[in-house]
Each structure stands twice: as C-alpha cells, then as structure tokens.
C-alpha cells in the first residue's frame, strides 16, 4: 500500500538533476504480474535513486554478466500510480507549453505487455469515462485533458479553439480511428508548405469545446480500435496510435492586433519494440515484413542519427516512414518531447528490457530547441478580418 507522504514519493519516483536542453526521458517499471509471480519469476531491477536503474542478472546463476546501470530524468518504480505519471514525468510542462503554442509529443516505447497502453489510456474496458467518475486507473491522456482544461479556464483573456484527431498506423497504412470507414481506404500523408510539416489528408478533426468532447474522442477511438480486431490478438502489438490535441489561441495585443498561436500535443502509443526484430526475421509475407514495423525501425534510425553529436549535420530519414513523418517536428528538436520507456521487471524479459533501456538512453542525448510558430502578418490579417466582420454587423443593424 502506498502512503502519501513526500518521502514515500521520493522513494518510488527518483529524479536526476539534468538540465532541460534534451528530450525528457522517463522510465516506468510495471509491477510483476500474477503469472510472473506464480512462475516465481523475479525482479531484476534495482533502484539506487537519482533517476537511476540497475539491471542485475548476476544472482546465483554465475552467468558472468555485470550489473548494468542506466540513468534517466525520472524513474517510476512499480508502486507508482497513474497520477504520479502526470505529476512527476514532466507531462504538465508539456501541456503548459502546448497552450503557449509549442508542438509537443509524449510517446510510450517498450515491448508488448510492458505497460504502454496502461500508462497512456489505463486498463482495457475503461469506457464511460466521465470527469465525475474517473478512477485511480485512468491513464495519462485522460489526466492531461483535465489539466489542459484547468489551464485554459485560468486564461480568461485568451480565446482558445481546441480540436482533436485520433489515428492508427498499421502496416504503413494510416487509419482514422474517428472514421472506421477509412480502414478500407487508408489516408495519405502529405507535406504542407504553409505549415512546414507533414499532415494526414482528410483526417477527421473534431471540435472540442468542452472536456467531455475531448473524452468522447478518446472513447470513440478506443472503441473503433477494438472493433473487428478480435481475430488478430497481436494487432495492438503491431500498430501505432496517435491522439492529437490541436490548441489554437488568439490573444488581444496592442493596436487591436491579435496574437495567434497554434500548439499541439501528440500522445503516441507505439507498436511493441520487439516488433523491430520480428520484422527482420520470421516467415512474414514480403509486404508485411517491409511494412509491419518500418515505422518503428525508422524511428530508431532517426533517434540514433539525432543523438549522435558527431554526425551533427547528417541526414535524418524522417521521410522513410509514416510515423516519423508525423513526428518529425517533435523529434527534430523544435518541439518538446517526453519519452516514457515502459519496462517489465521480470527476469524472463531481461533482454527486451535492456534493449528498451539502451534505446531510451540514446533518445536522452537528443538536444532540443523548442520554438513557437507564430506569424505576425497572419495575426494582423486576422484582426483586420475581425474588424470587417464587426463593421458588417454594425451595417446590418443600421
Ligand atoms: P502494452 O500496451 O505495453 O502492450 P499493457 O499496457 O497492455 O502493455 O499492459 C499489459 C498488462 O499489464 C495489462 O493487463 C495492464 O493492465 C498491466 N499493467 C501494465 N502496467 C501496469 C501497472 N503499472 N500497474 C498495474 N498493471 C499494469
Ligand atoms: Mg498496448
């Protein structure tokens, strides 16, 4: 049982003193599950503190492997609860920055069964999510929505427009989770000159005036994701989902000019990290082998190239997969990124765990320089348009 005093929080969540110029990388270790306990599997992770993790596989067997020490911004031990992830992962800062016009991304990485979906959405079957009835089990997306609305309500002088979309990438095909018909007709990813970024053509974006509207998007997407997939139980291991909240705002500035900003937050639930290897081996059809986790592989290449300081100006292969096209602005360093690496504590999973921890350590080296995209000329035009509308309205009333 968890006690709610400060010391206890410090014990199950430890932080390093790293500066904020890099991608923020945190690790969540899930508890041993019942099956692992019954099979008397044991926990191979130790927690020395300061955002560090020790993977110790030396116990008894005399395998000769040395314990491995890893270091991150924050480490969440198995006793950490869902609300801890919102409070201590840096997610709140991400939400604050998205409201100020930054493009933010939170992604969960890890092998199948490590707790990615649990962390982002919560356990399966949490439908009927309503703010009044939310439980301790609701995940980070839901909690972020609550915090986002809290922030927006505080800024009464700013006019906000919120929209949301929810998509899935499976076999390099983009499916709109808010429009199930798109499963038969995948959407195209295109480059927008104006927005200087990639976007998904014809993706539903739903206006979200109220918190309930955002929650409805999450629910609808989860429901559509579950439909018709029961004959493929590893579907969720192979697919990536991205829920995006678009936050545009107008704030009156001097001379009747409005400052307009558009930030966003992506919540990304990645395919199981073990899929990278499965893509390369096993008897997959050619199309599958090429596609299943091209996105995950290319994400790995992008992270490696970005984190390698010596190859400063080397080519980053964003364009090689759907996922990396859509995450390019976050990874390239002018957005703000939080990576949550999810791992199992069990000895049985130790190889995948070490792979995930190495991957996360690489991502931690990526340096960032977030910028707000704001076009002053556009802001001026917008305020002039407003004036015209006001004048027209006045005319009509004369
Ligand atoms: P993934 O999405 O990475 O494949 P899941 O989130 O589906 O993994 O987690 C696998 C199982 O473990 C689920 O039954 C989930 O409820 C459980 N689980 C994961 N993380 C935790 C946690 N921190 N506390 C309790 N149960 C967890
Ligand atoms: Mg999952």
Q: Which of 114-118, 278-282, 336-340 has the lowest mean pLDDT?
A: 278-282
* 171 φψ region: left (φ > 0), alpha (ψ -120 to 50), beta (else): left
Distances (CA, A) of 352 to 55, 113, 343, 346: 12, 11, 8, 10
Q: Is 30 in the pocket of ligand 1 (CB under 6 A)?
A: yes
Query: Which pLDDT score is estimated for 3?
Result: 45
Looking at ligand 1, which atom is closest to the CA of residue 237? Answer: 4
Q: Which of 48-52, 56-60, 184-188, 261-265 has the lowest mean pLDDT?
A: 56-60
For the stretch 42-75, pLDDT in tens is 889 999 988 999 998 776 554 557 889 999 999 9
Is 251 assigned to a binding site? no
Contact 294, 276 (CB under 8 A): no
Phi and psi of 267, rounded to 5°?
A: -110, 115
Q: Is 114 in the pocket of ligand 1 (CB under 6 A)?
A: yes
Looking at ligand 1, which atom is closest to the CA of residue 269? Answer: 2
* Average pLDDT, rounded, for the chain: 83
Give the helix, strand, coil percentages of the chain, each rounded to 5.
40, 25, 35
Contact 158, 250 (CB under 8 A): yes
Is 116 assigned to a binding site? yes
Contact 222, 127 (CB under 8 A): yes
Q: Is the ipTM of this complex over 0.95?
A: yes
Q: Is 117 in the pocket of ligand 1 (CB under 6 A)?
A: yes
Neighbours of 128 (CB within 10 A): 8
Q: Is 116 in the pocket of ligand 1 (CB under 6 A)?
A: yes
Phi and psi of 24, rounded to 5°?
A: -80, 120
Is 132 assigned to a binding site? no
Query: Which pLDDT score is estimated for 293?
Result: 80
Is 111 assigned to a binding site? yes
CA atoms of 41 and 57, how far apart (whole Å): 12
User: What is the whole-number distance in angstroms between the Cα of residue 37 and the centre of ligand 1?
Assistant: 15
> Which ligand is located closest to the Cα atom of residue 116?
1
Tell which wins on pLDDT, 392 or 247.
247
Query: Which pLDDT score is estimated for 187?
Result: 94
Confidence of residue 41 (pLDDT cuts 50, 70, 90): confident
Nearest to 386 by CA among 397, 396, 378: 378
Contact 152, 145 (CB under 8 A): no
**DSSP one-letter code for 268:** E
Q: Quick one: tokens of 361? A: 């350590």
């Amino acid at each position: 049982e968890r006690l709610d005093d400060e010391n206890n929080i410090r014990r199950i969540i430890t932080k390093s003193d790293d500066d904020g110029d890099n991608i923020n990388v945190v690790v969540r270790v899930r508890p041993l599950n019942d099956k692992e306990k019954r099979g008397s599997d044991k926990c191979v992770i130790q927690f020395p503190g300061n955002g560090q993790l020790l993977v110790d596989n030396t116990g008894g067997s005399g395998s000769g492997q040395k314990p491995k020490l890893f270091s991150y911004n924050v480490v969440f031990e198995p006793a950490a609860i869902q609300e801890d992830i919102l409070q201590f992962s840096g997610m709140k800062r991400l939400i604050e920055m998205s409201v100020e016009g930054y493009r933010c991304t939170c992604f969960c990485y890890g092998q199948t069964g490590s707790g990615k979906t649990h962390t982002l959405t919560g356990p399966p079957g949490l439908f009927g999510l309503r703010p009044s009835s939310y439980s301790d089990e609701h995940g980070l997306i839901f909690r972020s929505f609550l915090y986002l609305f809290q922030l927006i309500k505080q800024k009464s002088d700013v006019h906000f427009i919120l929209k949301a979309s929810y998509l899935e990438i499976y076999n390099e095909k983009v499916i709109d989770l808010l429009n199930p018909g798109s499963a038969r007709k995948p959407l195209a990813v295109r480059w927008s000159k104006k927005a200087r970024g990639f976007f998904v053509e014809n993706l539903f974006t739903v206006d979200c005036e109220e918190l309930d509207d955002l929650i409805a998007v999450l629910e609808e997407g989860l429901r559509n994701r579950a439909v018709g997939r029961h004959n493929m139980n590893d579907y969720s291991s192979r697919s990536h989902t991205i829920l995006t909240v678009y936050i545009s705002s107008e704030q009156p500035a001097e001379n009747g000019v409005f400052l307009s900003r558009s930030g966003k937050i992506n919540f990304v639930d990645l395919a199981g990290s073990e899929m990278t290897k499965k893509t390369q081996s096993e008897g997959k059809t050619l199309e599958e082998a090429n596609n299943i986790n091209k996105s995950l592989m290319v994400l790995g290449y992008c992270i490696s190239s970005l984190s390698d300081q010596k190859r400063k100006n080397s080519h980053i292969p964003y364009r090689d997969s759907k996922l990396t096209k859509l995450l390019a602005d976050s990874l390239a360093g002018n957005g703000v990124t939080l990576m949550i690496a999810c791992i199992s504590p069990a000895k049985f999973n130790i190889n995948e765990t070490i792979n995930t921890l190495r991957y996360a350590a690489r991502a931690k080296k990526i340096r960032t320089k977030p910028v707000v995209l704001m076009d002053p000329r556009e802001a001026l035009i917008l305020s002039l348009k407003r004036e015209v509308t006001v004048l027209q309205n006045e005319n009509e009333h004369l």
